[in-house]
Amino acid sequence: MPADLSPLVLSLKVASISTLAVFVAGVALARLMNRRDFFGKSAAEALILLPLVLPPTVVGFGLIVLFGRNGPLGAWLEDWFGIQVVFTWYGAVIASFIVSLPLMYQSAAAAFDKVDPRWENVARTMGVSEWRIFRTITFPLAWPGILAGIVLAFARGIGEFGATLMIAGYIPGETETIPLAIYFSYEAGEMEQAAFWVITVSALGLAAITWLNHWRKRQAASAGRE
């Protein structure tokens, strides 16, 4: 076991923050796409899903252009809030958010598609507000699919490598996530340390998937008894 466990702490921190942001953005976007038709909808959905098919280096390059010191978002964040994204753990969070968002969006969109709109329409005839309908009917019915998206987004956030390396760089103790620790440990010939991190990240992913499958089986069993 390596003496420095900061890659584990940072990976969990980055994945947790990015997953929270992805949950909010993914559910909101999926709900909008599910219930609204507007000009350019197909193009907007393609843009959301684009990180799934792009090489991580392309995603990383785009983030550097946007969030670099001379980029539109990077200059704005630094001028107004004093926040620098490139070569900081903030960059790792943004990279994880971008690559995880398509997974959350797809899961949430599929979950909303399975919700019978008749339940919502009945509530509307009773004068219930749209927000209350979403909070008490739509979201609970779609929750199993949304939860699957959360787990996938979290696992993807922990495993992000390419885009993180480009925008956050490799700074031990500052931006060194588990995937970066694996790569640079291997490059340095520290095979035992690389193996430790491989086992750690594999265990985290396996635990997340196992828990999700167990939860689904329990939900199915509960539904069968009702």
pLDDT (0 to 100) of residue 121: 86
Task: Give tens-digit pLDDT for 152-171.
Answer: 999 999 999 999 999 999 99
Cα–Cα distances (Å) from 110 to 25, 95, 103, 191, in that order, read 15, 24, 11, 42
CB 196 within 8 A of CB 2: yes
Sign of the CA dihedral 202, 207, 208, 210? positive
pLDDT (0 to 100) of residue 129: 87
- Kindly state the helix (H) or strand (E) to which residue 96 belongs, with its residue range: helix 89-113
In a domain, 53, yes or no: yes
- Domain extent, residue 68, equals 6-177
pLDDT (0 to 100) of residue 150: 94
In a domain, 204, yes or no: no
Radius of gyration, alpha carbons of the chain: 20
Number of domains in the chain: 1
In a domain, 34, yes or no: yes
In a domain, 183, yes or no: no
How do the pLDDT tens digits run along the chain, 226 residues long? 666 889 999 999 999 999 999 999 999 999 999 888 888 888 999 999 999 999 999 999 999 999 998 899 989 998 898 889 999 999 999 999 999 999 999 999 999 998 888 888 888 888 888 889 899 999 999 999 999 999 999 999 999 999 999 999 999 989 999 999 999 999 999 999 999 999 999 999 899 889 888 888 887 666 565 5
In a domain, 58, yes or no: yes
Tokens in use for 221? 């069993």
In a domain, 167, yes or no: yes
Check which CATH number belongs to the domain holding 167 and give it.
Answer: 1.10.3720.10
Task: Give tens-digit pLDDT for 28-44.
Answer: 999 999 888 888 888 99
